[in-house]
Structure 1
């Protein structure tokens, strides 16, 4: 099969999952789209060199590395929303409020802490897999998870009640 066709099929199949992960990392749709596009630029440049390398692990590593490295270089200012988020109605007020509070708390974590939490709890990777994705030791993943969860517990005590006893 032609490598260009393989690339298109891979992007088509994995694009939505990459976009969701990027949104969880950035907390902003436009920033997530930029992160995914930046990831694709690197992926396209290196696709021909892949050979037998697993593209899934490679593209995930690009995404998370770009996120952590990109946020180190620049700071984004928090701006108020132009329009408030859509709400499903009065019955959803508590859920929406909880979601916004948790999103705000996640935004207060460092980029690496957010990346670790997304890898471990959203992408459901093992400590070793998350460490390989970020290019750090498993102990770093464990300590970053512990510190991030402690920070979230301090910022939003009720939001993490379902995760009590979960091992980082």
Structure 2
């Protein structure tokens, strides 16, 4: 039985790891932090795998862990200290064939939002969750989701004209 459980987890992880990585990157704003968030999330899901009764709820459970871990990062005092370095990390930029040239600016703008607003937009427009699902994932009221989304979109709209981009209302 334990081997079957491990196989089930491995299958789920193989199917969801890339999506969790993308969501973590959108939440955290950098690849290294996103990798740490996903690793922690997968470890916690693995430890709870045998206790999860409804397999259809695993994605929501993992998403909640990811959001909680991201929020915990912002609460830690060491996160507020800046560390400078003269060395640039080795990183190969990814180019999306469907990008008309504005995606990098949009993601840069998204990273300027407060963590909760960024989480709401990522879950709404990237993960395509409903307001109720977002509220459940974040542990807030649906009205909070609506107000955070409204504020985030208003902030982005203010910043977009300076870039010469158009943003649908």
**RMSD between aligned residues:** 2.7
User: Which residue matches 1:23?
Assistant: 25
Alignment of 1:142 onto 2:146: yes
Give the aligned partner of residue 62 of structure 1.
65
**Partner Cα separation in structure 1 for residue 70 and residue 81 of structure 2:** 13
Shift of 1:72: 2.5
DSSP 3-state at the match of 1:109: coil
- What does 1:1-168 align with in structure 2 at a 5 Å threshold? 2-52=4-54, 54-73=57-76, 74-75=79-80, 77=82, 82=88, 95=101, 98-157=102-161, 158-159=164-165, 161=167, 163-164=168-169
Please say which of residues 150-159 and 30-39 is displaced more in the overlay: 150-159
State the shift of 1:76 in Å. Answer: 6.7
Say how many residue pairs are matched: 157
Q: Are 1:102 and 1:159, in contact at CA under 8 Å, matched by a contact in 2?
A: no
TM-score (norm 2): 0.80
In structure 2, runs of 5+ residues without a counterpart are none
Q: What TM-score do you get using the length of structure 1 for normalisation?
A: 0.81
Unaligned runs of 5+ in 1: none
Distance of 2:59 and 2:18 partners within structure 1:
13
